[in-house]
Amino acid sequence: MAIQESLRQIRPAWVERVAHELASGEGVRVGFMEQLDRFYDLLEQTVVTGNTAWLDPILYDWGRSPTETNLEEGGYYVSFVMNRIVALTIEVAREALDKEDALELIAAVTPIFTHSLSVVVRYEMETRVTHISNELGKAQEKLEELDHKKSNFISVTAHELKTPLTLIEGYATMMADMMQESGQMQMDGLLKGMGVGIGRMRRIIEDMLDVSLIDNNLLKLNIQPLWISHLVSLLQNDLKNIVAQRKQHLIVNEFEGRDLMIYGDSERLYQSLYSVATNAVKYTPDGGIVTIDGRMLPGFIEITVTDTGIGISPKHQTQIFEKFGQLGRTDLHSSGKTKFKGGGPGLGLSIAKGIIEAHGGALWVESEGCDEVKLPGSTFHILLPTRAEPNDPRVTKLFGEIEQSKLEDQRSNV
């Protein structure tokens, strides 16, 4: 029996079998049977001509047909349908035809079905990739909108808090002066405590404002000549009392480039160095060691802050530089910027990174992991360009592809 005749003979049973198994409900089954009739017509044409392109239009429609629900559930329904059509075709052929005609038909349609399945899988995969890309785009837009709203909230909140805080600070100072003039010092301790609280709140507000400036690319740098040695000496002096309170040891090594003069914003750079150093103090147990060192690299000077603290796990080594990036349970943190594992808003390292990058540099950390018993420690790397002129193009954050490539090379060699 000719293959075309075999196809016509099994067609009614084939359509009924496939529709009954793969379509539930009479309304759905009627529409599906129409699709099956169309497919079968094209299948016969393909067998006659030997050209599988006849099936491509309906395969394209099927491959692009998954609903939003199907895509979200992650199932490959069209591929499943195509696989079942192949299996049911073999079943119907064996039942309706004699053995020789069935084998001849199966041998003829198998390459066609194989081609059809590969086409459907490709179209279905493309549809799924498009869906996932669209979903990722929507998620990205929502994240950007949320981040923008968060930045606006930080900026507005910081500005709104700054005004009443200034008033409170002013009145507290006036009260202290009046009591000192009148000789009434009973409230002196309370006023000093109020002053400490006001100072801490002011620093938090200033950090929030700095984060807002960095997020919106509004951070302005006062570029002037500065000496690395001055920054390191000031840092060493400011850390003396802090490490003494924690019974820690501060080691400041002489290193090549320490006496170098570069251009930058000395106040902002010191702010970054201080944040990194106090972070090292905070996460180093009492009696530990904090070491400041450095070296010269082609076009850059590297300053390192190494501690013998609890370390940072690799998966958190980027998180600590994000806004409000805190590790562990915040409700268990002690208060204070330099107490062991002391709490805080989690803005210091984020601001430090923003300032360093605004100078055309980089800030990152290396650590073997976090262990409060073995104390593997951490090393923070601060890389600054050795600019010899105030108008050097590296003064801007986006300082050109050549310098960016150079910076990445230096960092990879560290």
pLDDT in tens, 9-35: 888 888 888 888 876 655 556 677 888
What value does the mean pLDDT take over residues 44-72? 75
Tell me the residue length of the chain.
Answer: 414
- Regarding whether 240 and 125 lie in a shared domain, the answer is no
Q: Residue 83: what pLDDT?
A: 85
Q: Maximum CA pair distance of the chain? A: 121
DSSP string, 212-223: HHHHTT------
Count structural domains, the chain: 2
Higher pLDDT, 60 or 261: 261
- Regarding whether 245 and 195 lie in a shared domain, the answer is no
Question: Which token pair is 322?
Answer: 């994000």
Q: What is the CB neighbour count within 10 angstroms for residue 117?
A: 17
- Regarding whether 212 and 108 lie in a shared domain, the answer is yes
- Regarding whether 291 and 320 lie in a shared domain, the answer is yes
Coil, strand or helix at 406:
helix
Boundary-marking domain end, from 197, 218, 239: 218
Beta pairing partners, 177: none
Coil, strand or helix at 295:
strand
Q: Residue 334: what pLDDT?
A: 46
- Regarding whether 345 and 298 lie in a shared domain, the answer is yes
Given a cut of 50, whether residue 245 has pLDDT beyond it is yes
% of the chain with per-residue pLDDT over 90? 29
Using CA atoms of 362, 285, 343, 361 in order, give the dihedral in degrees to the nearest 10: -10
% of the chain with per-residue pLDDT over 70? 78
Q: Residue 393: what pLDDT?
A: 41
Q: CA separation (Å) from 236 to 229, 286, 290, 305?
A: 10, 18, 11, 12
- Highest-pLDDT range among 9-23, 93-107, 365-379: 365-379
pLDDT in tens, 341-368: 766 667 889 899 999 999 999 999 999 9
**What CATH number does the domain containing 319 carry?**
3.30.565.10
Given a cut of 80, whether residue 400 has pLDDT beyond it is no
What 8-state DSSP symbol labels residue 385? E
- Regarding whether 194 and 173 lie in a shared domain, the answer is yes
Coil, strand or helix at 302:
strand
- Regarding whether 150 and 18 lie in a shared domain, the answer is yes
What value does the mean pLDDT take over residues 67-84? 62
Boundary-marking domain end, from 191, 218, 245: 218
Calpha distance 347→268 (Å, rounded):
15
Q: CA separation (Å) from 285 to 68, 279, 292?
A: 54, 12, 17
Q: Residue 399: what pLDDT?
A: 39
- Regarding whether 249 and 208 lie in a shared domain, the answer is no
Which of 71-75, 76-80, 236-240, 288-292 is the least confident region? 71-75
- Regarding whether 294 and 152 lie in a shared domain, the answer is no
Q: Residue 281: what pLDDT?
A: 94
- Regarding whether 283 and 185 lie in a shared domain, the answer is no
pLDDT in tens, 297-350: 999 999 999 999 999 999 888 888 887 666 554 444 444 556 777 666 678 898
Which of 78-87, 96-105, 245-254, 278-287 is the least confident region? 78-87
What value does the mean pLDDT take over residues 54-79? 66
Domain span at residue 306 reads 224-413
Q: What is the CB neighbour count within 10 angstroms for residue 393?
A: 14
Q: Both ends of the chain: CA-CA distance in Å?
A: 77
Return the sign of the alpha-carbon dihedral for residues 298, 302, 308, 309: negative
Give yes or no for a contact between 384 and 300, defined as CB atoms under 8 angstroms apart.
yes
Q: Mean of the per-residue pLDDT values for the chain?
A: 80
Boundary-marking domain end, from 203, 218, 233: 218
